[in-house]
Amino acid sequence: MKEVVITGLGVVSPLGNDPQTLYENLVAGISGIKTIQRFNTDAFPVKFAGEVSNFDPLPYFDAKEVSRTSRNIQYMMHAAVTAVQAAGLTETNFDKTRAGMILGSGIGGMEVFTQNAQAMAARGPGRVSPFFIPQSIANMASGMVAINLGWMGPNFSTLSACATANHAFMCAADQIRLGRADVMLAGGAEESVCEAALAGFANMKALSRRNDAPEKASRPFDKDRDGFVLGEGAGALVLESLEHAQARGAKIYGKILGYGMSCDAHHISAPLESGEGVALAIKNALKESGLTTADVPIVNCHATSTPLGDVAEVKAVKKAFGADAHKIKLMATKSMTGHLLGAASALEAVATIMCLYNGRLHPSINVENQEPEIDLDVIPNLAVNTNATRAMSNSFGFGGHNTCVIFEKP
């Protein structure tokens, strides 16, 4: 099968809206988690999130379009278009009929959905926007980016909660491996910092309630963690066959070596505490990549900062890597960005690739009292240099969806 390489990266995040800014802030250990500014949180038990700021949709939409286009789609458009620009793809150096995209979302246009439901309840069905359906369905970001770029190849969306973007990478890489496309855009987006999402997750008791210190609320691997922090944004990778990228002289940021997936088949939101499901996904990724446990010394963990999840993931790493587990460095991107739901593994893929490419791993911040059961190297609080060439990025979704993707430095 064809080798799959990464030639472009794009991102919208609480720590910047381009990969270099995101990377620099992550390596510096800066938190993007702050008190929410978008809406009044007086009635909410949680008042902070990883909120996107300084985002300008006007390069892609006029003022009228902005008012009727979901933020989910706006974020995805920016991440995708800037990734394509970074890849150096032009009108003449590739075949648009052999270029496609798989861009997913865990929820889609949740804010649009909420606003229109409220409008119908308050003023009747005639007040529902004609744009309600196309702006709320989760596949529309993939559709609208394709319309913008004119790419006519394989196009659909994945939806598996927080594993969404990793599944998108897998499906997109498969299109190239199987010869169905030369170029694919893959990633995910989420507009999750909105009233309905905040209320829903808060009422599940899933969120941290450290309102007095938002920047310290996301603390994966720390004994005093009390829940995850809601985040939002988007991430995208341009994937190509190695031969196609080389033929046009593209800069290569990395490779996708392989991937694994599984299901806990256990609970709608809680992880399988033994870690068996995640361990299976890790083993599948190693097997598909043709690697041993000694070949992958870095894992960017799902690491949401929940009491059960962090421990279960580390148990899985130990089960899958065996004696090599204590040689691994674990990163927790969410300690600084919060949890971007369907965009989480997209953002974390960009972070992982940038760390490998630049030879420096970002820290897991807020590790002040490391959980005793998590007795591995979690890169606490300060970045470290690395000469490693491979890393795994893990993402798991409600419903028990487990995904692992292995990246390699070129």
Active site residue 339: yes
Check pLDDT > 90 for residue 319: yes
100-119 tens-digit pLDDT: 999 999 999 999 999 999 99
pLDDT digits (tens, 9 = 90+) for 356-405: 999 999 999 999 999 999 999 999 999 999 999 999 999 999 999 999 99
> Do both 46 and 69 map to the same domain?
yes
Task: Determine, yes or no, domain membership for 137.
Answer: yes
Q: Are 243 and 263 in the same domain?
A: no
In 3D space, the residue among 265, 105, 118 whose CA is nearest the CA of residue 190 turns out to be: 105
Do residues 324 and 384 share a domain? yes
pLDDT in tens, 33-76: 999 999 999 999 999 999 999 999 999 999 999 988 999 999 99
Catalytic residue among 78, 167, 339, 362: 339
Same domain, 238 and 314: no
Which residues neighbour 108 within 8 Å (Cβ) at sequence distance 6 or greater? 70, 72, 136, 137, 138, 139, 140
Report if residue 252 sits inside a domain.
Answer: no
Q: Is residue 314 part of a domain?
A: yes
* Token code pair at residue 81: 């278009």
List, in sequence order, every residue forming a beta bridge with 300; answer none if it has no partner: 331, 393
Task: Choose among 286, 327, 332, 325: nearest CA to 309.
Answer: 332
Q: Is there a catalytic annotation at residue 302?
A: yes
Tokens describing residue 12: 């919208």
- pLDDT above 90: residue 1: no
In this structure, what CATH number is given to the domain that contains residue 293?
Answer: 3.40.47.10
Are both 194 and 289 inside the same structural domain? Answer: no
Q: Is the model's pLDDT at 125 over the cut of 90?
A: yes
Structural domains in the chain (count) = 2
pLDDT for the residue 204: 95
The pLDDT mean for the chain works out to: 97
Dig out the tokens for 106 from the structure. Answer: 């865990």
Q: Which residue has the tokens 């990377």?
A: 23
User: pLDDT tier at 181 (50, 70, 90 boundaries)?
Assistant: very high
Catalytic residue among 78, 244, 302, 362: 302
Residue 163 has pLDDT above 90, yes or no: yes
Are 216 and 280 members of one domain?
Answer: no
Query: Comparing C-alpha atoms, which of 272, 98, 126 is closest to residue 182?
Result: 98
Q: What is the pLDDT of residue 342?
A: 98
Same structural domain for residues 243 and 264? Answer: no
The residue among 271, 196, 188, 263 whose CA lies nearest residue 230 is 196
* Catalytic choice (78, 162, 167, 301): 162
Domain contains 253: no
Query: Around 147, how many Cα atoms within 13 Å sit in the side-chain half-sphere?
Result: 11
Say whether both 90 and 188 belong to one domain: yes
On whether residue 171 sits in a domain, the answer given is yes
Residue 167 known to be catalytic? no
CA distance 379 to 27: 11
Q: Tell which residue, 368, 291, 297, has the closest CA to residue 331.
A: 297
Confidence of residue 307 (pLDDT cuts 50, 70, 90): very high
Which of 247, 277, 305 terminates a domain? The answer is: 247
Tokens representing 276 are 């068996």
Whether residue 216 is found in the same domain as residue 320:
no
In this structure, the answer to whether residues 315 and 171 fall within a common structural domain is no
| Cβ-based burial of 117 (10 A; exposed 0-12, middle 13-18, buried ≥19) | middle
Span 256-280, pLDDT tens digits = 999 999 999 999 999 999 999 999 9
Q: Residue type at 150?
A: G
Per-residue CA distances from 95 to 134, 183, 185, 237, 373 (Å): 28, 9, 14, 18, 51
Whether 243 and 262 share a structural domain: no
Look at residues 209, 226, 247 and tell me which one is the last residue of a structural domain: 247
Domain that holds residue 119: 4-247
Q: Indicate if 206 and 270 belong to the same structural domain.
A: no
The answer to whether 236 and 346 are in contact (CB under 8 A) is yes
Structural domain ending residue among the three candidates 228, 247, 266: 247
Q: Indicate whether 97 belongs to any domain.
A: yes
Going by the DSSP 8-state scheme, the letter that residue 363 receives in this structure is P
